[in-house]
Structure 1
Amino acid sequence: MPDDIWEKFAGDSERDIRSSAPKEPSARARTVTGRLREQEARGELPAGWRTGPAWQQMNGRSAWRRRRWALLGVPVALAVAVVALKPSLLPGDLFGSGDREAAAAPLPEETAAPTAPPTSDPGVPTLARPFAGSPAARWADGEAGIVLPKATPVGSVSAKQVEQALRQTRTLLIEANLNPATLRGKRPTDALDLIEPRQKDLHEDLDTALRKPDKGHDPLGMFSRFDPAEVRLAGDVVKTRGRITFEKGRDAAVTVHADYTFVYPVVGADRGAKEVTRTVVRRVLDVELTDPSRYRVTPGKISVLRYDLDIGNSACDVYDGYLHPQFASSHPAGADPTGPTTDPYDRSQDIGADRSKGCGTVSRV
């Protein structure tokens, strides 16, 4: 409660108490009271003139009520101030704030494919709230969203080896999609070092894509990259949601399947830029760890079996190795979309739909 309001309240309460306190009768009041008593003794006053609620008694009760309410006013005022600061403390949540807090609470871990697209509250992204209006507002932040299942033995592959495969897959996802240097377009050396060196064709393709990207060699297939001269992240949080599973592979191996969506809020690179938009990238990654005691593989490395993606809100048919988020206030870059409209947050459908229909549009970002 502000100091000036509190002081006014305390002063009013003190003044009411002081004005209601009993006072010594004046000399005139004593004279009138004595004359009335003498008249009563001589029988000059009507009977019952004192049987009603005398004004002295009524005034006494009124004074007590004023003192009682003044005393109760302090805790009541404090209670009102507390409830004003946090309405959810009221029983039954009379103002519905509990519902809003529950709606904004983080989602539980995803353990299976959802059955429908997620819902979201209306809102426009801002620098202060870059995920306003997005289902990702309830998703986990960055690495916290990549949760590993408990490792168990798979065929001849021990639980320890399975855990190693899971951890390496998680690290590859982080280095390829969340590492700030990777997002700024730097070479993702740590991610490349996790991949089996014997996969020479894959290493050559990724190296070419990073050095000289084109339609046939696009680094975005594996890595999330933005042109720092064009955009920068709005804040330092990337929202993440998905799941990792594993199963028995062929030839004494364990196969790990990862399916994750990353939501990147961005703003123009110009100083003072305020308009925020989002790019949504969904990735599917299958890797394999083979028992090095039985096959000729490099210990501590994983083999990439599949990597695929869907991108929401990036320039169409631009192959310079960067994601190009589209802002509402600017004319879309790249080719005009010709494909169907899709929801980039819909994780209920399998990734890798028929792309022969051309670049599509997104229903929301």
Structure 2
Amino acid sequence: MDDLDGRFKELISQFDADERRRMTAAASKGARPPRPPRRRWPLAVGLVVAVLTAATSVVVFRPDLLTPDSGPAVTAGPVPEETLPVTPAPAEEPAPGPFAGSPAEKYAEGASGFAMPKARALGGLSKKEVAKGLKRTRELLVTAFLDTKTLMGGRPEAFAKTLDPEQRSFFWKNLDRRKPRKDGFDARGWVNSFAPKTAELTTKVIKVHGRTKLTTFKDHGRTSAQADVNYLVVYAVHRPGQPASTVRIVAHHRGQVRFYRDSGRVAPWLHDWGASHTPARCDVKDGYVHPVYEDSPPDETPTKGLPEDPYDLEDPEGDGECTEASGT
């Protein structure tokens, strides 16, 4: 410090008296403590932000405050379509099916309608043998009345395979005969086939209702078991390419399937197997079903008796005569 003081005094000595007085006065002024700076810019920015925020609030919530007093009030324009509440369209009710309003509406669908009774030992056959006979009975019903190829007039191979070999040979021999037998029999009547080019299925759903009952029969002094079948099978069909012509065809099938024990196996044998159909033509006897539509020409076969209910399972078996029906 002594060295610095000496150098300072030496420097001062180089100035005259007046100069030293001016420097001393200047030094005394600089010794006053400086004022702290005022930070004004944060406040200024804050004010600007506050104004902008307030202005935004006015525009959003009070547009009328920005409108001159002398002018009309600002009114809202039309609400954009995309902001309007969407009202869902009422759900359309499904169109009624072709079986609606008829007893068939509550019938089982397809093969499930051919329910078999519980097997039991009967007519000299064991419970297991009767069960096999009932299984074959159900297969005969399904292939005769539900096979699409057969229904459309095709070759009923599925049904033929289910027959006993001996009866199968008879079936093929008498199917679609070019020369009718004297008794008018045609094996096509053992199955349900619509005449070619007369019908198309309106729906694949086929309604089935009825029962199978186990009974016995005697043949050449021997008692055996048989299944008595009684079923209604209801189809919805229309003229080819004309769905608007849809009608319901009710097939009422009755018959028996007899169970024979043959070389250690149970062989089914059809007996009195056939069906009536409503509405169908009576004046064509070729084994096929010829549907009657609303615009069909009159049937040339005269009818007998009072109108019958085609849905009556207890209706007595007819004798092949053509009768009127109360409707399907």
TM-score of the aligned structures, taking structure 1 as reference length? 0.58
Q: For 1:83-232, list aligned pairs within 5 A.
A: 129-199=97-167, 203-204=169-170, 207-212=173-178, 214=180, 216-232=184-200
SS at match of 2:262: coil
CA distance in 2, matches of 1:310, 1:331: 19
SS at match of 2:105: helix
Q: For 1:318-357, list aligned pairs within 5 A.
A: 318-328=284-294, 330-332=295-297, 334-340=299-305, 341-351=307-317, 353-355=318-320
Is 1:273 the counterpart of 2:273? The answer is no
Who is 2:234 aligned against?
A: 263
Who is 2:324 aligned against?
A: 361
Q: RMSD across aligned C-alpha pairs, in angstroms? A: 2.7
> Is the 1:209–1:218 contact (alpha carbons within 8 Å) kept by the matching residues of 2?
yes
Shift of 1:135: 0.7
> Is the 2:226–2:256 contact (alpha carbons within 8 Å) kept by the matching residues of 1?
yes
> For 1:252-300, what per-residue CA distance to the aligned partner results, in whole angstroms no more than 9, with x for missing partners?
5211111111111101102x53221011111112111122357xxxx35
Q: Which runs of 5+ in 1 are unaligned?
A: 1-80, 86-125
Greater Rg over alpha carbons, structure: 2
> Is the 1:220–1:323 contact (alpha carbons within 8 Å) kept by the matching residues of 2?
no
Is 1:302 the counterpart of 2:268? The answer is yes
CA distance in 2, matches of 1:348, 1:207: 33
CA distance in 2, matches of 1:196, 1:241: 26
TM-score of the aligned structures, taking structure 2 as reference length? 0.64
Who is 1:67 aligned against?
A: none
> For 1:70-127, what per-residue CA distance to the aligned partner results, in whole angstroms no more than 9, with x for missing partners?
xxxxxxxxxxx9xx99xxxxxxxxxxxxxxxxxxxxxxxxxxxxxxxxxxxxxxxx98
> For 1:125-181, what per-residue CA distance to the aligned partner results, in whole angstroms no more than 9, with x for missing partners?
x98511122111110111010111111111431111101100101100110111111
CA distance in 2, matches of 1:130, 1:173: 23
SS at match of 1:161: helix
> Is the 1:187–1:210 contact (alpha carbons within 8 Å) kept by the matching residues of 2?
no
Shift of 1:246: 1.1
Query: Residues 232 and 128 (structure 1 numbering): CA distance in 2 closer, same or farther, change over 3 Å?
Result: farther
Residue 165 of structure 2 aligns to which amino acid in structure 1?
Answer: P
Query: Residues 325 and 208 (structure 1 numbering): CA distance in 2 closer, same or farther, change over 3 Å?
Result: same
Residue 274 of structure 2 aligns to which amino acid in structure 1?
Answer: D
Is 1:317 the counterpart of 2:288? The answer is no
Who is 1:235 aligned against?
A: 203
Residue 258 of structure 2 aligns to which amino acid in structure 1?
Answer: E
SS at match of 1:302: strand
> For 1:343-362, what per-residue CA distance to the aligned partner results, in whole angstroms no more than 9, with x for missing partners?
111112222x244xx42221
CA distance in 2, matches of 1:194, 1:127: 39
> Is the 1:145–1:240 contact (alpha carbons within 8 Å) kept by the matching residues of 2?
yes
Who is 1:104 aligned against?
A: none
Q: Which runs of 5+ in 2 are unaligned?
A: 1-87
